[in-house]
Amino acid sequence: MINRRHFLKAMPPALALSGYPVHGFTKDAIDGRIIVIMLQGGMDGLLAVPPIGDDDLFKQRKALVAANPLKLNPLFGIHPNFKNFSRLLKINEASIVHASSFPYTGRSHFEGQNISQIGLRKPFSVDTGWLGRAMDVAKITGKAMSLDAPLLIRGAMEFDNFYPASISNTSKPKNDLLNLIKNSHDEDMMKTFEKLNQSLMQGSDELRARDPLSLAAKAGEAMRHNDGPRVAVLTIPEFDDHSSIGSTTGHHPDLFTLLDSVFGQLKESLKETWKDSIVLTTTEFGRTVQENGSEGTDHGYGSVGLLAGGLIKKSSVVANWPGLSNKALFEKRDLYATIDYRSVCAACIEAAFGLDHGLIIDKVFQDKNIKRTYHHIFG
Amino acid sequence: MYENKFQWARKIGFGFRPKDIIPENIDQWNKEQLNSDNQDIGLNGEGVWPESYNFSLEERLNRLHTFMTKKEKYESDKIAPDEKNKLVRIARDENRVHLYDVYKYWNNAIYGRNTFHQRLVHFWANHFTVGGSNNFRNYIIGDLIYNTIGENLDGPFTDLLQKVTLHPGMLDYLDNVFSSGENSNFTKTMREEGKTAGLNDNLSRELLELHTVSTAKEYSEKDIKNVAKILAGWGLIVSNYTREFNQEKSNGNIKKNIRFEDFIKKPYLKDRSEPGKKNVLGKSFSSGPGSIYKLIKMLAEDDHTAQHLSRKLAIHFIGENVSKQEINEIYQTWKASNGDLAEVHRITLEVSQKTNVKKFLWPTTWMFQCVRLSGAKFISDKNRNNGFGEIQNNGLPKYEPLGILDEIGHNFWSSRQPDGYSEKKQDWVSTEHFDRRIRIASRIYGANPSMSGEEIAEIYGFSDRTKMSISTAKTSKDKFIVALCSPELMEV
């Protein structure tokens, strides 16, 4: 049978997206894993991955540039706190996409977070997440490492969450009790009970640590099993700082260190499965190019995405750099997003689930204009 | 329509306790609920909250200042690190405030008679979210909840909005304390010294988007910027409040005759404010502290605010599937009364009574109701019984009341986003959330309830299906847990 993806590749791109019926899988199912790290609050992409080769950076920003970024290429450096991530870049297991954003310019956290999770242009227009829909199309399961089930993976046929309780004088409920409670509830709660039952079978009430690092360890552990979840979602909150966010050291840089150690932890705990995995960050928007009055930056537009995992074959910094001169900025204040971040998400879905790009943009993002960036990011 | 009085008392309040005299006439009870005030706690001699643990804003800031001063002293002293940590810990514990606030939050919900009032306080505390954090905002969140929101729920919305917006907690949480006008003396001086200063539009944005008109109003970035200009100069950093006040006073930026207790009510620093006229949504505002009051009045009285808040109240009390007509009834009353909250809350109660729509309760609402209706002693002075016992332990406030709120993911003292907690069922029914409900139910069983699972099922009119589950359960504990975790008690 002809491999559909190769077939499409051979066609001129204009034709690739039209006129062909879209089938499900394009090749033997890829047993890949996706881990999304949601950076809540809007990560300052220019602080994380500064374009040190762009002189306008230093004209626009007085304080908020790390003193000693690690140089990646003539244009870009990376904040020195990304030690693990830099190492992954060196061994061709990481890529960066800069000047990118979900298609949202409104600068509201809540609309922005909603769009980064639903993956559509209109905020609050659906109740499912882009990853949930992708999981649904690929018929796979996932896990959210949080108390609630994030919108990002809603819509999937099956997902579960993990965030161990710590209430003194209590223990995990027994299965027979759970069944009695279940019997009194309506259909819409059945999934919750099934999952709760399963998690009880797995026993173990011992792990209480719930910081992003411990949850990353637990995610990797669960995902490396053959029948474990294929998707995990982690959240690192508190990027929403507007004052004294720090340059070389400080609050944002501390969050970089945390994010960096989560990358390191995932590689370690996924073990062999790392080679089939892709970890990507999302954030609702970037920050203003210039500092505000309080050594911070305010809600902006373009930011940066960090990706790592064994599915990447060759590291790269992907950007269609818009520049930082006053003229080049979005509404005279923000880094322009020249890459729709949904095309990055689509590439990750393609890499990990083996879904056809056309299918992804149709069923998951419902936007035929999303470009294929797979080859840029994964090499 | 709520025929069952027990369920109705849960729809808008925290329900009856087994010892309560159940009102013959529910309309009379409704009236009492509408007229009850902020202090209606412990009237039967039970759960009386000690006056010594009610703190004014001034006391809170003083305690914080005492702690910070001691902390800095110990940290600069030449003593062994272990000893240092111990001294800092003692200073912190001695000056704690928020753990008492949290205990009071439980106490009032479990023993109070003014339960509709308290539910309203929770609603508005969520609408005007001020997240806690380790940078000391926790010292004053209780003041926002009890003294600002709790005391301003029966007047014009304008008053509530004004007091909340200018509360030191809100000004700090949404970064207004870091904002100064681009053309203010403060910004100029800072820039001459090579330091950064200028506008920060965080509070401005949320004031429009979340607190009043919402994005439906379609205001511009320019409007946001101009609101920020009007807000510039308001507030001081909470963690350093007293010291900054003294500093600004000695610099002459606060007049000599203004005392600390006056300043905290109107924390305005002229040298940080933006001179000149500002235009917001087509209306012009002059310079000076008067503009913020005019702006707040304009926003509070805007039609979009009425729409936004009528909808939010309806969803909170009636349920997420509330009909357009039901929202409209609240909206019409809002408009007719020009945002008189006493009227708006009254109509919210009345529409809730007639509805068939159910509301999936927040975890704390459900938990407090379960403690109350079962007669359990989750907070008890006399009999510990797996409750919290005395407010203090060895002279220090208990931590567990806060710990449990954190565990169930619904904690007004936690660090969180300004849009507050979700009102949607699907956000509260994950497996981890459900696991916690079952654990909490077992804790309540351990706190000596006077009602059994079967009795609860009878009084609250459970379905045959739920009654069947309860009768099948083998132990009285399991029967109790099944009753508390039933759809009838989670959704009302």
Q: Spell out the alpha helix ranges (H) of B112-184.
A: 115-127, 138-142, 157-165, 168-173
Total number of domains in chain B = 2
Residue A229 C-beta-side C-alpha neighbours within 13 Å: 27
- Cβ distance B179 to A291 less than 8 Å, yes or no, reads no
CA gap A216, A221 in Å, rounded? 9
CATH of the domain at A70: 3.40.720
For residue B69, give the amino acid letter: T
**Is B272 found in the same domain as B387?**
no
Window 238-297 of A: residues touching B by CB (8 A cutoff) are 238, 240, 242-244, 291-296
Hey, are the CB atoms on B200 and A293 less than 8 Å from each other? Answer: yes
pLDDT of residue B386: 75
CA distance to partner chain B, nearest, from residue A41 (Å):
9
Q: Which domain holds residue A240?
A: 34-164+207-351
Residue A141 has what DSSP assignment? E
Amino acid at the residue B460: Y
Q: Count the Cβ atoms, other than its own, within 10 Å of residue A157.
A: 12
Q: What is the nearest CA distance from B44 to chain A, expressed in angstroms?
A: 30
CB contact under 8 A, B175 and A242: yes
Residue B452 to residue B361: CA distance in whole angstroms = 22
Q: What is the DSSP letter of A299?
A: B
- For residues B291 and B373, state if they share a domain: no
Contact B198 A163 (CB under 8 A): no
**Phi, psi at residue A243, to the nearest 5°?**
-140, 145
- Residues from chain B contacting residue A185 (CB–CB below 8 Å): 486-487
How many CB atoms are located within 10 Å of the residue B25 CB?
8
Domains contained in chain A, number? 1
Both tokens assigned to A215: 């949850």
Residues of chain A with Cβ-Cβ distance to B233 below 8 Å are: none
Q: Give the nearest partner residue to A147 out of B180, B201, B432, using CB atoms.
A: B432
Tell me, yes or no, whether B293 and B174 share the same domain: yes
Indicate the SS3 state at residue A234. strand
Same domain, B368 and B282: no
Of B252, B275, B300, the domain-final residue: B300
Residue A273 within any structural domain of the chain: yes
3-class SS at A325? coil
- ∠ CA A147-B128-B147, rounded to 5°: 115
In this complex, do B431 and A165 lie within 8 Å of one another by their Cβ atoms? no
Q: How far apart, in whole angstroms, are the C-alpha atoms of residue B123 and residue B128?
A: 9
- Best of A125, A170, A189 to disrupt the B interface (most B CBs within 10 Å) is A170
Rounded to the nearest angstrom, the minimum Cα separation between A23 and chain B is 32
Q: What is the pLDDT of residue A7?
A: 29
Q: Which two tokens stand for residue A19?
A: 């006129």
CB A148 within 8 A of CB B433: yes
Q: B31 to chain A nearest CA, in Å?
A: 34
> Chain A, 8-67: which have a CB under 8 Å from a chain B CB?
40, 62-63
A184 touches chain B (CB under 8 A): yes
Interface test with A, best of B435, B464, B467 (most A CBs within 10 A): B435
B294 and B372 belong to one structural domain: no
Residue B2 forms part of a structural domain = no
Cβ distance of A181 and B469 shorter than 8 Å: yes
Q: What does the pLDDT profile of chain A (379 residues) look like in tens digits? A: 233 333 222 222 222 222 222 334 444 557 899 999 999 989 999 999 999 999 999 999 988 888 899 999 999 999 999 999 999 999 999 999 999 999 998 888 888 999 999 999 988 888 899 999 999 998 888 878 888 878 898 887 777 778 888 888 888 888 899 999 999 999 888 888 888 887 776 655 555 677 889 889 988 988 998 878 899 999 998 888 777 778 888 889 999 999 999 999 999 999 999 999 999 999 999 999 998 877 888 889 999 999 999 999 999 999 999 999 999 999 889 999 999 999 999 999 999 999 999 999 999 999 999 999 999 999 8
Indicate yes or no: CB of A149 within 8 angstroms of CB of B215: no
Buried b (16+ CB within 10 A) or exposed e, B355-378: bebbbbbbbbbbbbbbbbbbbbbb
Which of B215, B443, B462 is nearest residue A108 as measured by Cβ atoms? B215
Q: Is B446 among the domain residues?
A: yes
pTM of structure: 0.85
> How far is the C-alpha of A327 from the C-alpha of A151, rounded, in Å?
37
Rounded CA gap, A288 and A60, in Å?
Answer: 10
Contact B486 A165 (CB under 8 A): no
Give the contacts of B378 (CB within 8 A, at least 6 positions apart): B106, B110, B371, B387, B388, B443, B444, B447
Which residue out of B135, B173, B187, B196 would a mutagenesis test of the A interface target, given it has the greatest number of A Cβ atoms within 10 Å?
A: B196
> Is residue B145 situated within a structural domain?
no
Nearest CA in chain B to A205: B435
Nearest to A305 by CA among A353, A251, A346, A250: A346
A358 in any annotated domain = no
Q: Which two tokens stand for residue A198?
A: 């399963």
Q: Which domain holds residue B441?
A: 363-490
User: What ipTM describes this predicted complex?
Assistant: 0.89
Residue B387 lies inside a defined structural domain of this protein: yes
- Interface with chain A: mutation pick from B222, B415, B432, B474, highest number of A CBs within 10 Å: B432
Nearest to A169 among B386, B426, B470 (CB): B386
**Burial class for B282, CB neighbours closer than 10 Å (0-12, 13-18, 19+):** exposed
Selection from A125, A198, A191, A113 nearest residue B425 by Cα: A191
Nearest-angstrom CA–CA distance, A347 and A5: 13
- A178 belongs to a structural domain: no
B481 vs A180: CA distance, rounded Å = 10
* 8 Å CB contact between A269 and A216: yes
CB contact under 8 A, B179 and A293: yes
Q: Is residue B457 domain-resident?
A: yes
Answer for the pair B113, B15: CB distance below 8 angstroms, yes or no: no
Write the DSSP assignment of B197-254 as a string of letters: -----HHHHHIIIIISS-GGG---HHHHHHHHHHHTTB---GGGHHHHHHHHHHTTSS
| Two tokens, residue A83 | 């030690």
Which positions in chain A touch B415 (Cβ < 8 Å)?
A: 237-238
Question: B-chain residues within 8 Å CB-CB of A176?
Answer: 474, 478
Q: How far is CA B450 from CA B439, B444, B476, in A?
A: 19, 11, 12
Cα angle vertex A197, ends A192, A201, to 5°?
Answer: 150
Bridge partners (DSSP) of residue A141 are A158
Same domain? For B171 and B296 the reply is: yes
B293/B270 Cα distance (integer angstroms) = 15
Say whether both B198 and B294 belong to one domain: yes
- Is the Cβ of A177 closer than 8 Å to some Cβ of chain B? yes
Whether B294 and B391 map to the same domain: the answer is: no
B121 with B364: CB under 8 angstroms?
Answer: no
For residue B19, what are its two tokens?
A: 């010892």
Chain A CB contacts of B466 under 8 Å are 184
CA angle B255–B260–B264, rounded 5-degree value? 100
Max intra-chain CA distance, chain B:
77
Residue identified by tokens 């340059």 is A247
Best mutation target among A167, A192, A245, A254 (most B Cβ atoms within 10 Å) is A167
pLDDT tens by residue, chain B, 492 residues: 899 999 999 999 999 999 899 999 999 999 999 998 877 776 566 788 888 999 999 999 999 999 999 999 998 889 888 899 899 999 998 999 999 999 999 999 999 999 999 999 999 999 999 988 666 899 999 999 999 999 999 999 999 999 999 999 999 999 899 899 999 999 999 889 877 788 988 899 999 999 999 999 999 999 999 999 999 999 999 989 999 999 999 999 999 999 999 999 999 999 999 999 999 999 999 999 999 999 999 999 999 999 999 999 999 999 999 999 999 999 999 999 999 999 999 999 999 999 999 999 999 999 999 999 999 988 876 656 677 888 888 888 888 999 999 999 999 998 888 889 999 998 898 888 999 999 999 999 999 999 999 999 999 999 999 999 999 999 999 999 999 999 999 999
CA distances from B299 to A320, B334, B336 (A): 42, 14, 17
Query: What is residue B135's predicted lDDT score, i.e. its pLDDT?
Result: 61
B170 plus B287 within the same structural domain? yes
